[in-house]
């Protein structure tokens, strides 16, 4: 493990040196500024400042209860459902304030979310994927057919499911359900995709498929994922932010965070000393 | 430490492909550049239909508001109207011990109601609770006997009261030879409320955590002792809720009693006849109310009687709420 | 465990009580039958072992009593109703359109039709409002308003049917009279009052089904950018479909079996109603109106009416079971 990391770090220090002069900053798709979040009296997030670059995968890591999932739910305002939840500071999508200028439903369409537990609706596979577009006014069968097929293809599950689109989605395996949920999220053509520990309930093979899928999705989407699995963050993310007790301890390139963390707490966590 | 991302560097990383063990299996996946050719179509749809969608949402929301308002209005109107017309009609005459066609006193009917309901519950509660204990604590889950009991209990629950009335008339009144009597009526009611008590007790018992049972068995107590000492006490509020529900049905019942208990407006004379008063015919308050309303001669008295019935229902509902709260507390 | 030796096979307990129940539904029969072989199998008679066995037998008998009750009800209704059907002739009884006991004409077709009309009317009046109210209570109501309405619905459920009938008689019937000829005692009046009466059944059953829908469906819909109303109507409500169907069917059963309220507002003419405003007699009303003075074949024909009603109710119960099974299968 350590030797692998060292190797990685070595390799990267070389390439980094080579690339620095030409590199332009990636444009930020989403950003949070001075974000404080309270559940009643409890402060869940403390002065969080982060930017999420476009077409990159950002991983949020940290021990349980550190606020990473809370932050994720703040990005598409799912926290609105939690009673007594109060948000201060700003969440920006393309520079527009998600809490003040954007409408919550509009925001959620543009910032899709895949949950920890696969949650397909109790209806057919086709209807699951078509649900979003239908709700947004797409009525024509031909249009829906195209959207369903393309979404399922993009979620790498079309070939498995194309012959049983009319079957109930609850009959699928956990991994298939989760990829169906990704397809369902893609069907409303979001700009950002939030993944909330979306592989933690799955077996290793399904996890691998989804990780691979995420690597492909970032070509079109900005992906922000919460994960408990540090190797997963290392494998598929471009940026990583490490959370502890509601604060961002350290954030930056994934490789730096894992190979040369600045803060000793990050180093401890990444080395597996707590968590 | 939270400076945000330093975004200056974009470095190549070991590719995702190299990390993924299953890529070969997924060769068919292609993210076509032309994927979502319909994207603009969707965007256009969203823009166009957004306003209509909001209108539909508002409409749906107001539909539920309207329905809730109508329900509340119906309730207030029924209860309010009965109270407004009935309360002034409550005269001392209505509370005489003796019923005459002059005073149309409802007191005998009220007393009969209490006796009838208590008698019915005295029969139904032990059987219903016992049956529920058997189903939850003794029987193997899903055995044929249990399924049969469940099916029959459900059937009983669906049977309308007039059928119970017919059965009571054929069985208790005629076959058993008890005549139109308190006993026939109470037995009929007992069968009618049996499934109510069984079901609520079952639910209350199932809500008792298994740790209570394990606690009992762990101390070496037998099943009976465990059930009686550890399980039943915490299920009591739930069972009580069922009993109150059953009581409510007894109080309001007419169709099952017309042909089993009859309509004689007297309190069964337990003082004079002792146990044989069980074979006296009597009318409960609801039956009393029905006869008054149908005769059409005593409309004001009918209003007054419905006020008394409503008050009984309100009291039972309040008792129910207390029982439910106790249940909540005991769950915690 | 010791008393597992006493494990009385459930089937034997049920047959014991069942056979005992036909004559006199006594606990004694079941107790003796279950207790004797059990005691014989235990080598050392320990008092608490006996007590456990007795308790098991006693509780088992109590459970078997509900089976006995259904069996008895079927037995007595059929024994008294079927001969009348045979004597009248089943087609004449079910499809005869004339009910004139004085002339020995017993056709209950008008009553069957009457029951169906009134029930259908009650469903039209009560189901949409009931379901929407359930949706309101489950997903829209906040704070005080919700809890006020919830206890209001409980109160509606508790009001005796005579009180509803009386209310119908003094308010709804005069109201219906405004709309046309006739007394106001009519299909419409009966439908309105029954529609009100099934409200609490529909509301409480549908609401508990809606409340039981897992939050993840609702959240999943919201995360797609769907607003609250659409998420509730398009995802939550369909997910509760089987429970909602059960609510409707329970309301149906309640409406078709309701007696006293209908008798008081329906007019009770034994003819097929030709409009919403004409009087109607349901099967339940038929029984209650004439049972007081009927004798012989007339009386048996009334019981046979009860049998027909019972068959309807059994069909509804079966339908309910099918719906519940489907709900569980999902």
Question: Chain B 221-280, CB below 8 Å of chain C: which residues?
Answer: 222-224, 248, 251-255, 258-259
Average pLDDT over residues C278-286: 94
Pairing of β A192-196 and β A222-226: parallel
User: Do the domain assignments include residue B7?
Assistant: no
User: Do the domain assignments include residue A44?
Assistant: yes
User: pLDDT exceeding 90 applies to what percent of chain B?
Assistant: 42
Q: What is the pLDDT of residues B234-247, one digit of tens each?
A: 888 889 989 999 99
Total domains, chain A: 1
Q: Please give the residue range of the domain that contains residue B144.
A: 96-331
Which chains share 3+ C-beta pairs under 8 angstroms with A? B, C
Whether residue B208 sits in one domain with residue B61: no
Contact A117 C230 (CB under 8 A): no
User: Do the domain assignments include residue C118?
Assistant: yes
Tell which residue, A64, A54, A89, A63, has the closest CA to residue A74.
A89
User: Do the domain assignments include residue B16?
Assistant: no
Whether residue B268 sits in one domain with residue B237: yes
Looking at residue C47, its pLDDT comes to 65
User: Do the domain assignments include residue B75?
Assistant: yes
User: Do the domain assignments include residue C243?
Assistant: yes
**Distance separating alpha carbons of residues B81 and B75, to the nearest angstrom:** 10
Whether residue C303 sits in one domain with residue C209: yes
Total domains, chain B: 2
User: Do the domain assignments include residue C126?
Assistant: yes
Contact A211 B1 (CB under 8 A): no
Boundary-marking domain end, from B47, B69, B89: B89
Contact B4 A238 (CB under 8 A): no
Residue A167 has pLDDT above 70, yes or no: yes
Whether residue B135 sits in one domain with residue B45: no
Kindly report the average pLDDT of chain C as a whole number.
Answer: 85
Whether residue C107 sits in one domain with residue C79: no
As beta bridge partners, residue A93 has: A30, A96
User: Do the domain assignments include residue A185?
Assistant: yes
The domain that holds A209 is classified in CATH as 3.40.50.300
Whether residue B239 sits in one domain with residue B303: yes
Residue B42 is nearest to which of A28, A138, A213, comparing CB atoms?
A: A138
Q: Please give the residue range of the domain that contains residue A200.
A: 2-270
b/e sequence C198-231, b meaning 16+ C-beta within 10 Å: bbbbbbbbbbebbeebeebbbbbbbbbbbbbbbb
User: Do the domain assignments include residue A212?
Assistant: yes
pLDDT tier, C330 (very low <50, low <70, confident <90, very high otherwise): low
User: Do the domain assignments include residue A162?
Assistant: yes
Looking at residue B42, its pLDDT comes to 63
Tell which residue, A132, A98, C136, has the closest CA to residue B53.
A132
Question: Chain C 25-64, CB below 8 Å of chain A: which residues?
Answer: none
User: Do the domain assignments include residue B26?
Assistant: no
3-state helix, strand, coil in chain B (%, to 5): 75, 0, 25
Whether residue C170 sits in one domain with residue C22: no
Residue A136 is nearest to which of B35, B37, B46, comparing CB atoms?
A: B46
Q: Is A214 in contact with A156 (CB distance < 8 Å)?
A: no
- Measured from the Cβ of residue B297, the count of other Cβ atoms closer than 10 Å reads 10
Whether residue C111 sits in one domain with residue C29: no
Whether residue B294 sits in one domain with residue B238: yes
User: Do the domain assignments include residue C195?
Assistant: yes
User: Do the domain assignments include residue C242?
Assistant: yes
Contact B131 C65 (CB under 8 A): yes
Boundary-marking domain end, from C88, C119, C152: C88
Question: Chain A 132-191, CB below 8 Å of chain B: which residues?
Answer: 133, 135-138, 143, 146-147, 150, 153-154, 156, 159, 188-189
Q: Give the pTM.
A: 0.83
Whether residue B47 sits in one domain with residue B138: no
Whether residue B235 sits in one domain with residue B319: yes
Tell which residue, C129, C194, C127, C186, has the closest CA to residue C165.
C194
The domain that holds B113 is classified in CATH as 1.10.3720.10
Whether residue B100 sits in one domain with residue B74: no
Tell which residue, B190, B180, B199, B201, has the closest CA to residue B282.
B180
User: Do the domain assignments include residue B5?
Assistant: no
Residue B29 has pLDDT above 80, yes or no: no
Average pLDDT over residues A170-196: 92
Looking at residue B277, its pLDDT comes to 79
Whether residue C164 sits in one domain with residue C264: yes
Q: Please give the residue range of the domain that contains residue C189.
A: 100-329
Residue B11 has pLDDT above 50, yes or no: no
User: Do the domain assignments include residue B17?
Assistant: no
User: Do the domain assignments include residue A275?
Assistant: no
User: Can you give the C-alpha Rg of chain C in angstroms?
Assistant: 25
Q: What is the pLDDT of residues A186-196, one digit of tens each?
A: 999 899 999 99
User: Do the domain assignments include residue B13?
Assistant: no
Residue A20 has pLDDT above 60, yes or no: no
User: Do the domain assignments include residue C94?
Assistant: no
User: Do the domain assignments include residue C110?
Assistant: yes
ipTM of this complex prediction, to 2 decimal places: 0.84
Q: What is the pLDDT of residues C162-192, one digit of tens each?
A: 999 999 999 999 999 998 788 889 999 999 9
As beta bridge partners, residue C280 has: C267
Q: What is the pLDDT of residues A237-260, one digit of tens each?
A: 999 999 998 899 999 999 888 888
Boundary-marking domain end, from C62, C88, C114: C88
């Amino acid at each position: 493990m350590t030797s692998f990391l060292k190797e990685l770090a070595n390799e990267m220090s070389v390439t980094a040196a080579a690339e620095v002069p030409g590199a332009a900053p990636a444009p930020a798709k989403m950003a949070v500024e001075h974000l404080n979040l309270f559940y009643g009296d409890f402060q869940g997030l403390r002065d969080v400042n982060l930017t999420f670059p476009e077409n990159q995968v950002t991983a949020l890591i940290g021990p349980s209860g550190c606020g990473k999932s809370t932050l994720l739910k703040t990005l598409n305002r799912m926290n609105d459902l939690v009673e007594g939840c109060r948000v201060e500071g700003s969440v920006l999508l393309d520079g527009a304030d998600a809490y003040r200028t954007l409408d919550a439903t509009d925001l959620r369409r543009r910032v899709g979310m895949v949950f920890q537990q696969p949650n397909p609706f109790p209806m057919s596979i086709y209807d699951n994927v078509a649900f979003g577009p239908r709700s947004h006014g797409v009525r024509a069968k031909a249009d829906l057919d195209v959207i369903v097929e393309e979404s399922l293809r993009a979620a790498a599950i079309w070939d498995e499911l194309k012959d049983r689109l009319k079957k109930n989605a609850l009959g699928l395996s956990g991994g298939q359900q989760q990829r169906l949920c990704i397809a369902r999220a893609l069907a409303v053509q979001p700009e950002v995709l939030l993944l909330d520990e979306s592989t933690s309930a799955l077996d290793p093979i399904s996890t691998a498929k989804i990780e691979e899928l995420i690597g492909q999705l970032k070509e079109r989407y900005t992906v922000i994922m919460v994960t408990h699995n540090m190797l997963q963050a290392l494998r598929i993310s471009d940026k990583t932010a490490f959370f502890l007790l509601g604060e961002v301890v350290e954030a930056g390139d994934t490789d730096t965070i894992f190979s040369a963390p600045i803060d000793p707490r990050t180093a401890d966590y990444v080395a597996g000393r707590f968590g | 430490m939270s400076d945000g991302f330093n975004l200056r560097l974009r470095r190549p990383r070991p590719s995702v492909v190299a990390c993924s063990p299953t890529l070969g299996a997924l060769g068919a996946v292609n993210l076509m550049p032309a994927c979502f050719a319909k994207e603009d179509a969707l965007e256009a749809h969203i823009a166009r239909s957004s306003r209509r969608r909001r209108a539909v949402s508002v409409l749906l929301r107001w539909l539920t508001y309207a329905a809730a308002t109508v329900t509340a209005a119906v309730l207030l109107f029924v209860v309010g109207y009965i109270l407004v017309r009935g309360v002034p009609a409550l005269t001392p005459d209505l509370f005489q011990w003796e019923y005459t066609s002059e005073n149309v006193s409802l007191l005998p009917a009220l007393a009969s109601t209490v006796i009838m309901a208590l008698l019915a519950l005295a029969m139904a509660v032990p059987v219903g609770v016992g049956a529920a204990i058997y189903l939850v604590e003794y029987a193997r889950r899903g055995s044929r006997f249990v399924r049969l009991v469940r099916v029959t209990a459900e059937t009983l629950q669906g049977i309308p009261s007039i059928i119970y009335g017919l059965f009571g008339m054929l069985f208790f009144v005629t076959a058993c030879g008890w005549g139109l009597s308190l006993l026939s009526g109470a037995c009929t009611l007992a069968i009618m409320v049996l499934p109510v008590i069984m079901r609520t007790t079952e639910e209350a018992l199932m809500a008792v955590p298994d740790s209570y049972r394990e606690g009992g068995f762990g101390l070496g107590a037998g099943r009976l002792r465990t059930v009686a000492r550890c399980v039943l006490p915490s299920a009591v509020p739930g069972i009580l809720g069922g009993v109150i529900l059953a009581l409510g049905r007894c109080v309001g019942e007419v169709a099952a009693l017309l042909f089993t208990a009859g309509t004689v407006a007297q309190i069964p004379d337990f003082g004079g006849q002792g146990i044989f008063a069980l074979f006296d015919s009597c009318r409960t308050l609801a039956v009393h109310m029905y006869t008054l309303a149908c005769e059409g001669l005593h409309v004001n008295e009918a209003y007054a009687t419905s006020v008394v019935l409503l008050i009984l229902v309100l009291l039972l509902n309040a008792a129910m709420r207390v029982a439910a709260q106790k249940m909540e507390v005991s769950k915690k | 465990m010791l008393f597992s030796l006493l494990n009385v096979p459930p089937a034997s307990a049920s047959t014991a009580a069942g056979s005992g129940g036909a004559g006199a539904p006594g606990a004694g029969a079941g107790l003796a039958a279950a207790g004797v072989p059990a005691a014989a199998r235990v080598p050392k008679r320990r008092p608490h072992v006996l007590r456990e066995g007795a308790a098991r037998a006693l509780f088992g008998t109590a459970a078997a009593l509900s089976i006995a009750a259904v069996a008895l009800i079927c037995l007595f209704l059929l024994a008294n109703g079927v001969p009348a059907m045979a004597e009248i002739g089943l087609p004449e009884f079910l499809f005869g359109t004339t009910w004139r006991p004085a002339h020995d004409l017993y056709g209950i077709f008008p009553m069957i039709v009457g029951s169906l009309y009134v029930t259908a009317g009650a469903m039209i009046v009560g189901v949409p409002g009931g379901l929407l109210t359930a949706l309101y209570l489950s997903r829209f109501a906040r704070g005080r308003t919700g809890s006020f309405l919830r206890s209001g619905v409980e109160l509606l459920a508790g009001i005796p049917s005579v009180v509803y009938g009386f209310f119908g008689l003094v308010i709804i019937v005069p109201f219906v009279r405004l709309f046309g000829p006739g007394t106001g005692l009519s299909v419409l009046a009966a439908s309105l009052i029954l529609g009100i009466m099934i409200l609490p059944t529909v509301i409480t059953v549908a609401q508990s089904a809606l409340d039981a829908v897992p939050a993840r469906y609702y959240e999943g819909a919201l995360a797609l950018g769907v607003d609250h109303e659409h998420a509730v109507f398009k995802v939550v409500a369909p997910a509760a479909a089987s429970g909602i169907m059960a609510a409707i069917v329970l309301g149906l059963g309640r409406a078709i079996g309701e007696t006293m309220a209908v008798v008081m507002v329906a007019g009770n003419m034994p003819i097929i109603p030709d409009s919403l405003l004409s009087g109607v007699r349901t099967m339940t009303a038929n029984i209650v109106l004439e049972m007081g003075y009927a004798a012989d074949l007339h009386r048996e024909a009334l019981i046979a009416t009860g049998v027909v009603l019972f068959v309807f109710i059994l069909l509804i119960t079966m339908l309910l079971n099918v719906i519940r099974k489907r709900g569980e299968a999902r």
